[in-house]
Amino acid sequence: MLRILAIVLGIVLAAIGGVIAYRAYFLEPAAAVIISDRGVRELPDTYRTIEGIALLVIGAVMAFFAARRKRYR
Protein backbone atom coordinates (compact mmCIF):
# COMPACT_ATOMS: atom_id res chain seq x y z
CA MET A 1 0.00 0.00 0.00
CA LEU A 2 2.82 2.40 0.84
CA ARG A 3 4.52 1.57 -2.44
CA ILE A 4 1.41 2.49 -4.44
CA LEU A 5 1.10 5.74 -2.51
CA ALA A 6 4.76 6.58 -3.24
CA ILE A 7 4.27 5.90 -6.96
CA VAL A 8 1.18 8.09 -7.17
CA LEU A 9 2.80 10.86 -5.12
CA GLY A 10 5.89 10.77 -7.35
CA ILE A 11 3.80 11.01 -10.52
CA VAL A 12 1.77 13.89 -9.11
CA LEU A 13 4.91 15.70 -7.99
CA ALA A 14 6.49 15.24 -11.42
CA ALA A 15 3.34 16.53 -13.12
CA ILE A 16 3.22 19.62 -10.91
CA GLY A 17 6.90 20.29 -11.59
CA GLY A 18 6.35 19.97 -15.32
CA VAL A 19 3.46 22.42 -15.23
CA ILE A 20 5.45 24.94 -13.18
CA ALA A 21 8.44 24.73 -15.53
CA TYR A 22 6.29 25.02 -18.66
CA ARG A 23 4.33 28.00 -17.35
CA ALA A 24 7.47 29.79 -16.13
CA TYR A 25 9.29 29.32 -19.42
CA PHE A 26 6.56 29.78 -22.01
CA LEU A 27 3.36 31.34 -20.68
CA GLU A 28 3.89 33.73 -17.79
CA PRO A 29 5.24 37.25 -18.20
CA ALA A 30 8.96 37.70 -18.46
CA ALA A 31 11.02 38.30 -15.33
CA ALA A 32 13.39 40.70 -17.06
CA VAL A 33 13.57 42.70 -20.25
CA ILE A 34 16.92 43.47 -21.88
CA ILE A 35 17.04 46.49 -24.14
CA SER A 36 20.12 46.77 -26.35
CA ASP A 37 21.17 48.03 -29.75
CA ARG A 38 19.92 44.83 -31.36
CA GLY A 39 16.43 45.12 -29.92
CA VAL A 40 14.31 44.12 -26.97
CA ARG A 41 14.64 40.65 -25.48
CA GLU A 42 12.58 39.08 -22.70
CA LEU A 43 14.06 36.57 -20.27
CA PRO A 44 11.92 33.90 -18.57
CA ASP A 45 11.80 33.49 -14.80
CA THR A 46 14.87 31.28 -14.40
CA TYR A 47 14.39 30.36 -10.75
CA ARG A 48 10.82 29.13 -11.26
CA THR A 49 11.92 27.18 -14.31
CA ILE A 50 14.73 25.49 -12.37
CA GLU A 51 12.36 24.83 -9.46
CA GLY A 52 9.86 23.17 -11.80
CA ILE A 53 12.50 21.03 -13.47
CA ALA A 54 13.83 19.99 -10.05
CA LEU A 55 10.33 18.94 -8.92
CA LEU A 56 9.87 17.06 -12.18
CA VAL A 57 13.11 15.13 -11.72
CA ILE A 58 12.52 14.43 -8.01
CA GLY A 59 9.00 13.17 -8.67
CA ALA A 60 10.08 10.99 -11.58
CA VAL A 61 12.95 9.45 -9.60
CA MET A 62 10.66 8.86 -6.63
CA ALA A 63 8.05 7.11 -8.76
CA PHE A 64 10.71 5.09 -10.59
CA PHE A 65 12.37 3.77 -7.45
CA ALA A 66 9.02 3.04 -5.82
CA ALA A 67 7.89 1.09 -8.88
CA ARG A 68 11.02 -1.08 -9.08
CA ARG A 69 10.70 -4.55 -7.70
CA LYS A 70 13.09 -5.44 -4.95
CA ARG A 71 14.93 -8.71 -5.32
CA TYR A 72 15.24 -10.75 -2.19
CA ARG A 73 18.04 -13.27 -1.94
Residue 73 confidence (pLDDT): 67
Domain boundaries, the chain: 2-67
Look at residue 36 in the predicted model and tell me its pLDDT.
Answer: 87
Which residue type does 27 have?
L
Give the per-residue pLDDT at 32.
82
Please answer whether residues 58 and 5 qualify as being in contact, where contact means their C-beta atoms are separated by less than 8 angstroms.
Answer: no
pLDDT digits 0-9 by tens, 18-62:
999 999 888 888 778 888 888 888 888 889 999 999 999 999 999
Long-range contacts of 1-9 (CB under 8 A, 24+ apart): 3/66, 3/67, 6/62, 6/63, 6/66, 7/63, 7/66, 7/67, 9/59, 9/62, 9/63
Residue 72, pLDDT score: 67
DSSP 8-state secondary structure symbol assigned to residue 65? H
pTM for the full predicted model: 0.79
